[in-house]
Amino acid sequence: MSVAGAGDEQATVKLRGFGPVGLLAILVILAGNAIVMPGSAILVLAWARWSRTPWREIGYVRPRSWMGSLVVGLVLGAGFKLLMKAVVMPLLGADPVNHAYHFLAGNREALPWALYAMIVGAGFGEETVFRGYLFERLGKLLGPGPLARMLTVLVVSLWFGLDHYSVQGFWGAEQATIFGLVFGAVYAVTGRLFPLMVAHAAFDLTALAIIYWDLEPTVAHLIFK
């Protein structure tokens, strides 16, 4: 092996490890969204390429059926949002109105930004980082066993919830944690990101539709008056 080849191999190992280089890579990736959304997800893809991490290890697996995965993701994402809004969050005593995003009600000017944030930022970005990348990193750190997988799902879900606290407050963080537990469990079993990307976007787009048409109290009180 040439000196250059040996150097490349060492850099690859360091990027995939948890030494100074590996930890710095994690910090840079997690800070990516502070520059541009979805900067963190783009950096994850760059990291996977430079570290020679197989795409399947971050959930980038070709679906058996693109159309089937698309349809299933859309249905499950929209259905899960309605379940959360009409059943789960009311049972937990949540405010029926998401005040952090209520400015979107009837706001046509904000729709392009909201659509971008929900499809690209959330569907592609958050799934790539929180399910794909963090599951890979914690999987390497904790191991592949069932208990390690359960701990990974729990840790990433709590992290996902806390990530939503600064903007959406307690109820938003609680909903995001539940969302993370469900999506994390599905990912832990399937190892496939594309259906979850679609479902995540559908979840958020359903939320956007409910807010835009000012239907939050109606949906929240659909079952529990």
Counting as low any pLDDT under 70, the low residues of the chain are 1-8
CA–CA dist 31, 11 (Å, integer): 21
pLDDT at 1: 46
pLDDT at 225: 74
pLDDT at position 34: 87
pLDDT at residue number 75: 97
pTM for the whole structure: 0.94
State the pLDDT at residue 55: 97
What is the pLDDT at residue 36?
A: 86
Q: What is the pLDDT of residue 13?
A: 87
Q: What is the pLDDT of residues 147-189, one digit of tens each?
A: 999 999 999 999 999 999 999 999 999 999 999 999 999 999 9
